[in-house]
Structure 1
Amino acid sequence: MVDESRDISTKEQMAVILRYVDNKGQVIERFVGVQHVTETTSSKLKESIDEFLKLHDLSYSNLRGQGYDGASNMRAKKNSDVAAFFTLTNSLVNVVGCSCKRRDALREKQQENLLKAIENDCLEKGQGLNQETSLKRAGDTRWNSHYGVLISLITMFSSVVDVLDMIVEDCYNDSAGEAKRLLKDLQSFEFVFLLFLMKSILGVTNDLSQALQKKDQEIVNAMALVKTCKEQLRCMRNDENFDLLVDKVSSFCVEHEIEVPNMDDLYVIQGKSLRKAPRKTNHHHYKVELFFEVIDFQLTELDDRFTEGNTELLICLACLSPNDSFVAFDKEKLVRLAHMYPKDFTDRDRSALQDQLDIYIHFVRSDNDFSQLRGINELAKKMVEKGLHRTFAYVYLLVQLALVLPVATASVERAFSAMNIIKGPLRNKMGDQWLSDSLVVYIEKDVFSCIGNEAIMEHFQTMKPRRGRLN
């Protein structure tokens, strides 16, 4: 998995994480390091990734899956993209990963004032109020944090208004003007409508967002959650749900003394005269231009992340799931999956796989040790534990291919969060190699926790002749 970060000491950094299956059948993700890139064009990123792999004696011909962030120069949308390059040069590499840096529909609908209100330092501090809680900030690498922000704002709406009122009355600088603008925006029906709309939409996608951030996320669970989210969003897109939302928003506005517009009146954009306003009603604006459009935007986002091509791949992989006594098993789809990896499965191998699948499914369904397994990860470990990875070698190869595909790039996002800690203002000038080595030690704590200080000092002592001996 590869991601590219910006504004790290005015340098462009690329982080690489390898995902593989060890000899115990366990999925392992290891942070390999970061590398400075001079440019973020597709061609330069291709060269940097290739150089990085060669530096670590790795070849992209051995890759079986790749995941990138959602930037236009990284994802496989056209032949010039990085992901498309490695797919074209190696037919075994499948692009699956879903980015953590998803766009927020609230930003797309130009509701920047909401974020200003949430991120405003005065609101967080709660000047003049004895608050038990504070507004949350939306995190770049924590998708569900946006959902928590909206809930927090709804819960503390009255307190937020009180704080802004106090700032307007007590301050005589730019803060007062900013607070006055925020107060005007917050106390509008459109703001409250979008606030509740986004809470409803992010409430649907919240479980998916949290699941994709887990290190042990499996493709089977991801596909089930994606399908569920799409179905729920489509169910939301009807007249009944719109009317319920308007009623909820209206009640909230009445409670907080916010004017509720008549839905049959003409909609007028703030700052424009009624004479020049487009001939549309409030009902049309809120239902078609906001309610339907934002829901459609979220559905498009899911479709873009999980395209028709990789969805077929994921559906085939889901047939390996051991859940409910292998109820998802489908021989034809698993053979189709083998066709997607022509260098791993020759015509002879695929023919042998068809016969092996019949024996395999009969064996695992009759063995009680496999009856309570949950997820492909547990299946791989159990097959290794019982030695079946050698007996059913072709099936186990499919299992390995399923496990190495990254569903999300949450791991590289965590690496960049760690980068901001390691390379802070006091260590702003540290070199790329030192940064990379420091990040490996910081991120891979479980590996280095078993290495004692004596071993480290001994290794350092023997690197080159030194004047004194370390104690």
Structure 2
Amino acid sequence: MRGQEYDGASNIRGAWNGLQALFLKECPYAYYVHYFAHQLQLALVAASKDVQDIWLFFSKLNSIVNLVSASPKRHSATRWSSHFGSVSSLIDLFGPSRTIIENLSKNGLTNSIRGEAKGVYLAMLSFEFVFILHLLREMMGITDILCQALQRKTQDIVNAMNLVSSTNALLQNLRENGWHTFFQNVESFCKEHDIVVPDMSASYTVGTGRSCQQNDSITFNHHYQVDIFNAAIDFQLMELNQRFSESTMELLILGTTLDPKDTYKSFKVDGICDLTGKFYPKDFQDEMRALRS
């Protein structure tokens, strides 16, 4: 049996210059399979950060988590240990967290603490921060089940591949059909916490705020739906597709036909023939005709 299994670094998995590519030149049937137990959620977060606004958001989120966690008035029944936990906790306890940050901006022990708190407090009051906060919870809520399942010590490969497919489908559905419901939820949250919602039909401005300085005049709706919402989901889908390509998923599923568990309960003649015919044809040239019988 031949195969490759590494972490997700680009110099390892790169299709053209990575280590897997070098192996494939020498051994074309040493198929690359991404390491299942890798922290997929971290990789998906990194993919989201390819959207500049989300990268900026995480710098603020880290400060909020550090400030709230260090505060003696923090709420102990929260999950700040992961990105998904931090995002979910901040939404659930947005009001109390905002109060803690505001108090630190006025009464922090040092100038640096007060300055950092003031900066993140102003960020928390912005529509863009709240928008991205909810978008990340929406996306991570979809991917979290898959991420947890892939880290189990005993893993059913077919179940794992089904989870990959359903995760992709849910993300795609969110992108294509979820915008209006999502935006309504964000709007409702903003009204509850007195955060100003921009006129989505107005021209989106950056820099000095003068729209005439922009080469491309776009609306707020375009900025949030296309440049952030769609773009972030697209990067998530791209990351998942790179790690779990259709050919890799088919290879793994067909491979389960050789699973000796329960006296080869999963054994299927068609699966064995598909496995050899599609993935290892040169290894079974002479035996291919007789294999089925």
Superposition TM-score tier, normalisation by shorter sequence: 0.7 to 0.9
1:102 shift after superposition: 1.2
User: Which residue of structure 2 aligns with residue 193 of structure 1?
Assistant: 131
1:227 pairs with 2:165: yes
Q: Structure 2 matches for 1:107-256, cutoff 5 A?
A: 107-110=49-52, 111-120=54-63, 121-127=66-72, 129=73, 131-134=75-78, 136-138=80-82, 146-171=83-108, 172-238=110-176, 240-256=177-193
Change (3 A) 1:176 1:317: same
1:116 shift after superposition: 3.7
Separation in 2, partners of 1:176, 1:259: 24
Separation in 2, partners of 1:150, 1:184: 18
Change (3 A) 1:270 1:244: farther
Separation in 2, partners of 1:133, 1:113: 27
1:212 shift after superposition: 1.1
Contact 1:76/1:84 (8 A) holds in 2 = yes
SS of equivalent to 1:94: coil
- Per mean C-alpha deviation after superposition, the further-off stretch among 222-231 and 274-283 is 274-283
Stretches of structure 1 lacking an aligned partner (at least 5 in a row): 1-62, 139-145, 356-471
Picking from 302, 311, 314, the partner of 2:252 is 314
Separation in 1, partners of 2:74, 2:229: 37
User: Which residue of structure 2 aligns with residue 465 of structure 1?
Assistant: none
User: Which residue of structure 2 aligns with residue 54 of structure 1?
Assistant: none
Separation in 1, partners of 2:55, 2:71: 21
Separation in 1, partners of 2:79, 2:71: 9
Separation in 1, partners of 2:198, 2:9: 40
1:89 shift after superposition: 2.1
SS of equivalent to 1:300: helix
User: Which residue of structure 2 aligns with residue 102 of structure 1?
Assistant: 43
Contact 2:74/2:100 (8 A) holds in 1 = no
1:232 shift after superposition: 1.2
Change (3 A) 1:284 1:319: farther
Contact 1:219/1:314 (8 A) holds in 2 = yes
User: Which residue of structure 2 aligns with residue 264 of structure 1?
Assistant: 201
Q: Computing the radius of gyration over CA atoms, which structure comes out larger, 1 or 2? A: 1
> What amino acid sits opposite 1:125 in the alignment?
A
1:182 shift after superposition: 0.8
1:305-341 deviations in whole A, cap 9, x for unaligned? 1224323423433556899xx9987644421312434
SS of equivalent to 1:250: helix
Change (3 A) 1:330 1:130: closer
1:192 shift after superposition: 0.9
For these two proteins, the number of residue pairs brought into alignment is 280
Separation in 1, partners of 2:125, 2:14: 43
User: Which residue of structure 1 aligns with residue 242 of structure 2?
Assistant: 304
- Per mean C-alpha deviation after superposition, the further-off stretch among 98-107 and 63-72 is 98-107
1:293 pairs with 2:238: no
Contact 1:316/1:337 (8 A) holds in 2 = yes
1:77 pairs with 2:15: yes
Contact 1:208/1:225 (8 A) holds in 2 = yes
Contact 2:44/2:236 (8 A) holds in 1 = no
Change (3 A) 1:83 1:106: closer
Contact 1:250/1:260 (8 A) holds in 2 = yes
Higher relative contact order (Cα pairs below 8 Å, separated by 6+ residues): 1
TM-score scaled by length of structure 2: 0.84
> What amino acid sits opposite 1:275 in the alignment?
C
User: Which residue of structure 2 aligns with residue 273 of structure 1?
Assistant: 210
Contact 1:124/1:134 (8 A) holds in 2 = no
Stretches of structure 2 lacking an aligned partner (at least 5 in a row): none
Contact 1:119/1:137 (8 A) holds in 2 = no
User: Which residue of structure 1 aligns with residue 222 of structure 2?
Assistant: 284
SS of equivalent to 1:137: coil
TM-score scaled by length of structure 1: 0.54
1:90 pairs with 2:35: no
> What amino acid sits opposite 1:107 in the alignment?
K
Between the aligned residues of both structures, percent identity stands at 33
1:247-297 deviations in whole A, cap 9, x for unaligned? 100111111111011111111225432331441111111111111111111
Contact 2:88/2:137 (8 A) holds in 1 = yes
1:348 shift after superposition: 4.6
> What amino acid sits opposite 1:150 in the alignment?
V
Cα RMSD of the aligned pairs, angstroms, is 2.8
Q: Structure 2 matches for 1:359-378, cutoff 5 A?
A: none
SS of equivalent to 2:8: coil
1:113 shift after superposition: 4.8
Contact 1:66/1:83 (8 A) holds in 2 = yes
SS of equivalent to 2:11: coil
Change (3 A) 1:216 1:352: farther
Name the structure with the higher helix share: 2
Contact 1:92/1:342 (8 A) holds in 2 = no
1:117 shift after superposition: 4.2
